[in-house]
Amino acid sequence: MRSLSIGATGMLAQQLNVEVISNNLANLSTTGFKRQRAEFQDLLYENLKRMGTSSSDAGTVIPSGIQLGTGVKTGSVYRIIGQGNMTMTENTYDMAVQGRGYFRVELPSGDEAYTRAGSFQLNGDGQLVTQDGYTVQPGIVIPQDATEVSISASGEVAVSVPNQVTPQVVGQLDLATFINPAGLEATGNNLFLETPASGTPTTGIPGDVGFGTLLQGFLESSNVNPVQEITNLISAQRAYELNSKVITASDEMLQTVSQLR
């Protein structure tokens, strides 16, 4: 019976849907996290009677025919790029991006990764780094005798040092944007990699046309809406139950057939 395999595809699809929702909820407090959503597609159809074919020598045509679906499959799990709320931390090296753009990070391999999580720190050399110690590009070094660090909305990093009235500019942060940010490959640790789907990065100064601005002392929270995710979870659970009932009904029908004398 086709309904057995069709119901099984439905249960597998909703199982994946629940896994996506659970990952969203698990990252409810992850800085800069962007929620994901599963999209599904119907499988191939079996044509028992093709529509539009001739049904007689008189030229009559079958108007609708008979098409039987074979179930559902996962089309994609895409990332929803939406702005998260701004959370004040009052930490000097915490930065949030308001609008489009990613911070550039140099990996130990020499490759470049991208992140929205601006929870940065200083290493032993005074370089601005991520929580894993990866250098934030283009490589900002804070002097050891700096008494105050100021990062403007345009990414200009200025420090105050003893015996100098005017703050000293020590670097300029930039942002990278992509034509299709949903095509970036997530590698964990709040990092993304460029892919052919995302397109090549365009680098620019925060505040320029097409680029967001920076906010010092803030972090961008996850854009996961817990109420919406719980609602989606309930819908996925009900869909899973309905598909399981299809399998149960099909099994009972087969049992009835096997008991015929």
What confidence tens digit (pLDDT) does each residue in 109-141 have?
999 999 999 999 999 899 999 999 999 999 899
**Structural domain total, the chain:** 2
- Copy the structure tokens of residue 137: 């590009």
- How many other C-beta atoms lie within 10 A of the C-beta of residue 128? 25
The rounded distance, in Å, linking the Cα atoms of 160 and 170 is 10
216 and 250 co-located in one domain? no
93 and 198 co-located in one domain? yes
31 and 48 co-located in one domain? yes
- Local confidence band at 18 (pLDDT 50, 70, 90 cut-offs): very high
Across 41-51, average pLDDT: 86
- How many other C-beta atoms lie within 10 A of the C-beta of residue 83? 16
Tell whether the model's pLDDT for residue 164 goes beyond 90: no
119 and 182 co-located in one domain? yes
149 and 103 co-located in one domain? yes
How remote is the C-alpha of 77 from its chain's centroid?
8
Across 69-98, average pLDDT: 92
200 and 146 co-located in one domain? yes
126 and 211 co-located in one domain? yes
The rounded distance, in Å, linking the Cα atoms of 72 and 95 is 43
- Residue 206 structural domain: 86-220
188 and 68 co-located in one domain? no
pTM of the model: 0.86
Across 72-91, average pLDDT: 92
What confidence tens digit (pLDDT) does each residue in 197-221 have?
999 999 999 999 999 999 999 999 9
Tell whether the model's pLDDT for residue 56 goes beyond 80: no
The rounded distance, in Å, linking the Cα atoms of 260 and 16 is 38
For residue 162, say if its preceding peptide bond is cis, omega within 30 degrees of 0: no
93 and 162 co-located in one domain? yes
Tell whether the model's pLDDT for residue 59 goes beyond 80: no
Specify the residue for token string 């199982």. Answer: 15
Across 141-163, average pLDDT: 90
167 and 92 co-located in one domain? yes
135 and 208 co-located in one domain? yes
- Local confidence band at 55 (pLDDT 50, 70, 90 cut-offs): confident
What are the CA-CA distances from residue 79 to residues 36, 114, 122, 156, 180 (Å)?
4, 15, 30, 30, 11
Q: How wide is the angle at C-alpha 17 spanned by C-alphas 16 and 23, nearest 5°? A: 90
In this prediction, residue 146 carries a pLDDT of 87
In this prediction, residue 58 carries a pLDDT of 79
The rounded distance, in Å, linking the Cα atoms of 184 and 191 is 10
In this prediction, residue 221 carries a pLDDT of 94
